[in-house]
């Protein structure tokens, strides 16, 4: 099975 990664871990809030 696969898990969908979220973008929050790549793009940080400014």
Name residues contacting another protein, limited to 1-14 (CB under 8 A): 1-14
Question: CB 9 → another protein: shortest distance, Å?
Answer: 8
Question: CB 10 → another protein: shortest distance, Å?
Answer: 6
Question: CB 12 → another protein: shortest distance, Å?
Answer: 5
Give CA torsion, residues 6, 8, 10, 14, to 10 deg.
160
Spatial distance between the Cα atoms of 9 and 13, rounded to a whole number of angstroms: 10
Q: Which residues bind another protein (CB under 8 A)?
A: 1-14
């Amino acid at each position: 099975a696969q898990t969908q990664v979220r973008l929050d871990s790549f793009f940080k809030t400014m």
